[in-house]
Structure 1
Amino acid sequence: MARPKTQNVPDLSALLTPKNPLMLAVERAVLRGQDSGYASAPIAEQIAARLAGVITLDLLKSGQRLLEKDISEVLHVSRAPVREALRILERDRLVEFQVRRGAIVTAPDESELRDIFRVRSVLYLTMLEQVANESPAELEALMSERLPRLVKAADESPDAYAVESFLLNFATVDLCRNRLLVDILQSISLRTLRYLRLSMVADPQSIRVSLKRWRALHKAIVGRDGETLLSLAAQRLDEARDAAVQAIAPVSPTRRAGKSQKQKTSAASLD
């Protein structure tokens, strides 16, 4: 007798698709920017990187169950590294464990998004100020090298732009000599990437706004204008947060409740 099919289990064939640039960016986030690369990473981290890639690409949907047995069969590995990989994804808030359901793909959440961007903004601006003061030439060289890639990616696709923007941020953070600050920023980079990609896919026009800010940042870096640099960076971070909030509005209970209350208030004022 055939085993009953478990409800809300995803098609895991996406795990076998060739890796694209976005998946490679996710891989780097999972591995915390390790120079050793994917091939030399422990098998659990390789599995986590592959799962994180398909979740970030929305090939695995929010609420779907990730069963150790099914993943191990698709990837031809034992269940032990799969179990460890799911714990890595729990660390990065892409997966949560629920009683009697196991590992579940998390849904984008406005409250978490705002918390992440609040922390990221403070830490990123601190990092950027340090880099601008301690390594201005390296920062200028990095921005001059990467900006043309951003421009090209903006004409290609939201995913291409999300990747280049992520890699530029990642490389900027890596210039910082405060390794604790670097570790913390890298630890939240994967969740940031997931939300930023959602915002760019939902509203491709936000890419043009983002690119405009990057160009202005480059000009401030070349001019060694630290005050303008930090002001523009703060503005870019706020705009990225707001675009991400708008992107997840249809699936965010917090957003729906706030919008409903706002509509009631508006209706009352009209009366």
Structure 2
Amino acid sequence: MGRLKTTNTPELQSLLAPQTPQNPVTLAVEQALMHGRDWSASVADQIAVRLAGLITIDVIHAGQRLLEKDISDVLAVSRAPVREALRILERERLIEFRPRRGAIVTEPNAQDLRDIYVVRDALFEILLRQLMEERADALEALFEQFIPQFSKAAEESVDAYISVTFLANMAMADLSSNRLVGEVLNSISLRVLRYVRLGLASHPGSLENSFKTWRALQRAVIKRDIEAVLQTAHKRIGNSRDAAVRALSSGIQKGKGGAAGRSAVSA
């Protein structure tokens, strides 16, 4: 007799499914997890990347349990690399370990997300003020590189747009001489990416409004207007926060999100 499935665990066959072409969000997540690390492409690294991608695109939902045995059985690997992969996800706060329950996909409430965004907003102000004072030309060049990509991605899908803006945020953080600010910002961005994605997918016009805010930020950078840069960045981050809280509060991530995301992507 086969072992009964543990309550509130995901179907893990998606771990085996080839992604050709790979979802752009999972590619962005892979780059984020590789970023700044001595990437060995070990079995544990590969498992962590695949799990993180499935969490971000809401195939594996918030609150679900990830059991070492289930994952090792599906992938036909020992439990040691699975355990290491789960620790990688724990460091990125995509999962947490709870007594007697094991690894649980993190499930913040609305206040948790607001608290996270308070930190994100403050760090972006530090980042942008520093860049405008020390590396404004490099920041302007970054916008020249990414803005056309934003425009193209917005016409393609929510996932394409989310992945490009996520990578742009990482590139901005990389310009900073303050490595701690960059590392924390990248970790926060990865942590909230799934909620921002679901929020944008479920509200028509969100992509257009987001793109307009990025363009306004670019114009402020070109003018070298630090205060306008900071005000526009606060607005952009506030919009991102609102999208994340909407997704969480409406319960999209508990089963409605997949349909919403797919309909938005296919539009």
1:25 equivalenced with 2:49 (yes/no): no
How much has 1:63 moved relative to structure 2?
A: 2.7
Please list the CA deviations of residues 68-102 of structure 1 after superposition, one character each: whole Å capped at 9, or x if unmatched: 11211222322112112112222323222233322
Q: Counterpart of 2:122 in 1: which secondary structure?
A: helix
How much has 1:48 moved relative to structure 2?
A: 1.4
Which residue number corresponds to residue 151 of structure 1? 151
- What amino acid sits opposite 2:228 in the alignment? T
Please list the CA deviations of residues 13-67 of structure 1 after superposition, one character each: whole Å capped at 9, or x if unmatched: 1112323221111112223x23765xx3443233212101001111012232211
Which residue number corresponds to residue 200 of structure 2? 200
Query: What is the aligned-residue identity percentage?
Result: 53
Structure 2 CA distance for aligned equivalents of residues 22 and 156 of structure 1: 13
Contact 1:27–1:53 at 8 Å: present in 2 too? Answer: yes
Which residue number corresponds to residue 122 of structure 2? 122
Structure 1 CA distance for aligned equivalents of residues 202 and 68 of structure 2: 32
Q: Counterpart of 2:97 in 1: which secondary structure?
A: strand
Q: 1:235 to 1:2 in 2, by over 3 A?
A: closer
Q: Counterpart of 1:155 in 2: which secondary structure?
A: helix
1:230 equivalenced with 2:233 (yes/no): no
Q: For residues 28-43 of structure 1, what are the structure 2 equivalents within 5 Å?
A: 28-31=31-34, 33-34=35-36, 40-43=40-43
Q: 1:75 to 1:204 in 2, by over 3 A?
A: farther
Structure 1 CA distance for aligned equivalents of residues 187 and 31 of structure 2: 11
Structure 2 CA distance for aligned equivalents of residues 89 and 109 of structure 1: 19
Please report the RMSD computed on the Cα atoms of aligned residues, expressed in angstroms: 1.9
The runs of 5 or more residues in structure 2 that have no matched partner are: 253-267
Which residue number corresponds to residue 163 of structure 2? 163
1:91 equivalenced with 2:94 (yes/no): no
Structure 1 CA distance for aligned equivalents of residues 214 and 4 of structure 2: 53
How much has 1:108 moved relative to structure 2?
A: 4.4
The runs of 5 or more residues in structure 1 that have no matched partner are: 253-271
TM-score by length of 2: 0.87
- What amino acid sits opposite 1:173 in the alignment? A
TM-score by length of 1: 0.85
Contact 1:47–1:82 at 8 Å: present in 2 too? Answer: yes
Please list the CA deviations of residues 165-209 of structure 1 after superposition, one character each: whole Å capped at 9, or x if unmatched: 101111011111111211221222211322211211121421111
How much has 1:135 moved relative to structure 2?
A: 1.1
Which residue number corresponds to residue 251 of structure 1? 251
Q: Counterpart of 2:63 in 1: which secondary structure?
A: coil
Structure 2 CA distance for aligned equivalents of residues 206 and 158 of structure 1: 9
Q: Counterpart of 1:97 in 2: which secondary structure?
A: strand
* Residue correspondences, number: 249
Q: Counterpart of 2:104 in 1: which secondary structure?
A: strand
